[in-house]
Amino acid sequence: MNTPTFDLSKVIRPHLYKLRPYSTARDDFKGIADVFLDANENPYPSGFNRYPDPHQLKLKEKISSLKKIATENIFIGNGSDEVIDLVIRLCCEPQKDAILTIEPTYGMYEVSAQINGVRTVKIPLTQCFELEAEDIIEAIDHTVKVIFLCTPNNPSGNLLNKEAVRKVISAFYGLVVVDEAYIDFADDAGFLPELSKWPNLIVMQTLSKAYGLAGLRIGLAFAHPEIIRWLNKIKPPYNISQAAQIHAIQHLENQEVIPNQVRMIKSERRILAEKLSRLDMVQKVFPSDANFLMVRFNHSKAVYDYLLKNGIIVRDRSSVLHGNNCLRITVGTSEENQKLINALIQFEYPAA
Ligand SMILES: *Cc1c(COP(=O)(O)O)cnc(C)c1O
């Protein structure tokens, strides 16, 4: 498939063509040396007295072999949140351009757009949180520069229909970010295997969820090398700390642990969904391809407050579109999930 209407040079903000990126001391010198007097660092070792690799090459090589994607297709951000911000800043003129996304979805796309003075066009999903490609395509106008699609979607938990996502990517002249933060919990390979087909696709993943490294702040973007080069040009030079790079590499060496944990979480998800759906207070447990469940209760507010009082924190999603009376519940360990169920069994509705 080709996308005749996509032209990256028309999507990048014009003033960025004049940008001369900051060149770090470590960019200028690429050989091997043992005297480093180029970066004004403290010479006495602390474990972290040197600046980190601005290109995170070792970590990228690890991710490259894990995901079977060349390093030139990989960008690493300080969490996905940095990637979202950089993509918006790369393409959208403040007070003029817009991003387009679905509703309900992850809140950071709109927040990041707002911070950058960029409008957000929101297209509702169906009542069952499904994507209608035609609705998106109809809403595209010349101000929309980036489309964000989250699949599996947060907070609904479902994978978006892949053919509908493809329709959007192929119909759009701008960039499409497919946010796959939860893809490891789905029975689907997502869009990485077809990355090379789409010059305007950015697949975003993260080490924060399945990989268990939320505290390190490592967000991943996979795209055509030309897009990766632009992201590298505008990122803060040392956006991934040395500590984060070292710990991420170490953790990824542990080949067995992550798939095992993902298997356990998926099995717990099935058990938790079953137990929840047997409760009278539960109207509906939405199908989930992620590590959380969107659950509609009879009176979510009362349930939320009750759980909070019992030291169990879930996410109130009752005010999002199609989310009335819904709580979003993360799948925890078997013990944690059982504590939740036990608490819910003992719940009594407050007298009217
Ligand atoms: C949790 C989450 C992320 C991850 O964000 P990080 O900044 O990488 O921790 C990204 N997208 C969605 C939809 C999420 O729910």
Q: What pLDDT digit, counting tens, does each position of 110-169 carry? A: 999 999 999 999 999 999 999 999 999 999 999 999 999 999 999 999 999 999 999 999
* Range 140-145 contact pairs with CB under 8 angstroms and sequence separation of 24 or more: 140/100, 140/171, 140/172, 143/96, 143/97, 143/98, 143/119, 144/97, 144/98, 144/99, 144/100, 144/174, 145/11, 145/91, 145/92, 145/97, 145/98, 145/99, 145/174, 145/175
Is the pLDDT confidence value at 38 over 60?
A: yes
DSSP 3-state of 86: helix
Sequence-distant (≥ 6) Cβ neighbours of residue 329 within 8 angstroms: 272, 276, 292, 293, 295, 314, 315, 340
Residue nearest to atom 3 of ligand 1 (CA): 181
User: 209 CA to middle of ligand 1, Å?
Assistant: 8
Residue among 112, 180, 206 to mutate when testing ligand 1 (max atoms within 8 A of CB): 206
User: 140 CA to middle of ligand 1, Å?
Assistant: 25
pLDDT value of residue 269: 98
pTM of the shown model: 0.96
User: 111 CA to middle of ligand 1, Å?
Assistant: 13
When the pLDDT of each residue in the chain is averaged and rounded to a whole number, the result is: 95
**Cis omega (within 30 of 0) for bond into 350:** no
Is the pLDDT confidence value at 41 over 60?
A: yes
Residue 272 and residue 249: Cα distance in Å, rounded?
33
Residue nearest to atom 11 of ligand 1 (CA): 181
Please give the average per-residue pLDDT across 256-275, as a whole number. Answer: 97
- % of the chain with per-residue pLDDT over 90: 92
Nearest alpha-carbon partner for 175 in 6, 4, 55, 340: 6
User: 155 CA to middle of ligand 1, Å?
Assistant: 11
Residue 181 and residue 149: Cα distance in Å, rounded?
11
Residue 338 has phi, psi (to 5 degrees) of: -70, -35
User: 302 CA to middle of ligand 1, Å?
Assistant: 28
pLDDT value of residue 1: 41
pLDDT value of residue 31: 78
Q: Please, what is the end-to-end C-alpha distance for the chain in angstroms?
A: 59
Strands of 326-330's sheet in order across: 282-285, 292-297, 326-330, 315-316
Residue 254 and residue 91: Cα distance in Å, rounded?
37
Residue among 102, 149, 179 to mutate when testing ligand 1 (max atoms within 8 A of CB): 179
pLDDT value of residue 25: 80
**Which residues are near ligand 1 (CB < 6 Å)?**
79-81, 106, 150, 154, 179, 181, 206, 208-209, 214, 219
Residue 244 and residue 216: Cα distance in Å, rounded?
5
User: 26 CA to middle of ligand 1, Å?
Assistant: 30
Please give the average per-residue pLDDT across 299-322, as a whole number. Answer: 97
Per-residue tokens: 201:
């696709």
Residue nearest to atom 14 of ligand 1 (CA): 181
User: 208 CA to middle of ligand 1, Å?
Assistant: 7
| pLDDT band at 2; cut points 50, 70, 90 | very low
Ligand 1 atom nearest the C-alpha of 153 is: 13
Is the pLDDT confidence value at 352 over 70?
A: no
Beta strands in the chain (DSSP E): 74-77, 98-103, 119-124, 144-150, 175-179, 201-206, 219-222, 282-285, 292-297, 315-316, 326-330
| pLDDT band at 258; cut points 50, 70, 90 | very high
Residue 179 and residue 83: Cα distance in Å, rounded?
10
pLDDT value of residue 73: 98
